[in-house]
Amino acid sequence: MVGAGVFFTIIDRWAWMFFIALWIYNGLVWRRRADGLEAEYPDQAQALRTIARGYMLFGIPLWVVMGLGILIGGEVSFFSFLHPRHGGPWVHVFLGMDVGVMLLFAWWAFFHDGISTLQKAGLGLRWQAPESGKLPNRRHTLLLVVLILVSNLGVVTAMYAIDWPPVGRAQPPQNEKTDEGPDPPDHSGVRASLPCYSLFSSSLASAWAVHGPPPVRSATGTRGISICG
């Protein structure tokens, strides 16, 4: 179908720009929410600022790397990054950075008072709005951190361990001579990649929970938006 082809073409080439815009938007929304809490709940406001800063500082570069890989690095599409066993160096850099971010998050959470910061921001197995005056149980926040780390690192491990069908590369193999230009993106492997994409989405949802609260109405009446459910 033409409509489906256009949709996948947009996702192929420009999904990374959508994620960058989304990360910036939500980070700014959470900063604005923190400003609204400053007068009555300064500790919670500072926790939200810390999380928003980390969310943008460590999240946006991942999508920049993906964009560079697609535009100049020979990766054919967004879906190439879900098939690391068939991907090029940009795919490995992207996923390596993701693992690095998770390791930094673990260091921050366990050795740099990150659990307390997440707790003040209301993040636990059950969401508590900072302005409610109630904090999540510390054990629940700790369990959330463990779940995030296990799910994210587990997804990346699965991507390398399972040989998902490739989606093609923008450049032909080195030993293959051809006078034609690069083939258009091959979507034949997209349907087979959906299980892996589902795992990747759950990983993003975990990272979303790490870096900021669920989308709630701020003191100024602004809403954040979510990409994963």
pLDDT in tens, 126-153: 776 766 667 788 889 999 999 999 999 9
Q: How far apart are the first and last CA of the chain?
A: 27
pLDDT at 157: 94
Neighbour count for residue 159 (Cβ, 10 Å): 21
Neighbour count for residue 139 (Cβ, 10 Å): 11
Q: Where are the domains of the chain?
A: 2-174+183-211
Which pLDDT band, with edges at 50, 70 and 90, does 183 fall under? low
b/e per residue 104-116 (b: at least 16 CB within 10 A): ebbebbeeeebbe
- Give me the DSSP letters along 200-224: HHHHHHHHHHHHS--S---TTS---
Quote the crossing angle between the two packed helices 2-37 and 42-71, to the nearest 10°: 150
Quote the crossing angle between the two packed helices 89-111 and 138-161, to the nearest 10°: 160
- What would the mean pLDDT of 40-52 be, rounded to a whole number? 90
Please give the model's pTM, rounded to 2 decimal places.
0.71
Comparing CA positions, the residue from 61, 66, 92, 85 lying closest to residue 77 is: 66
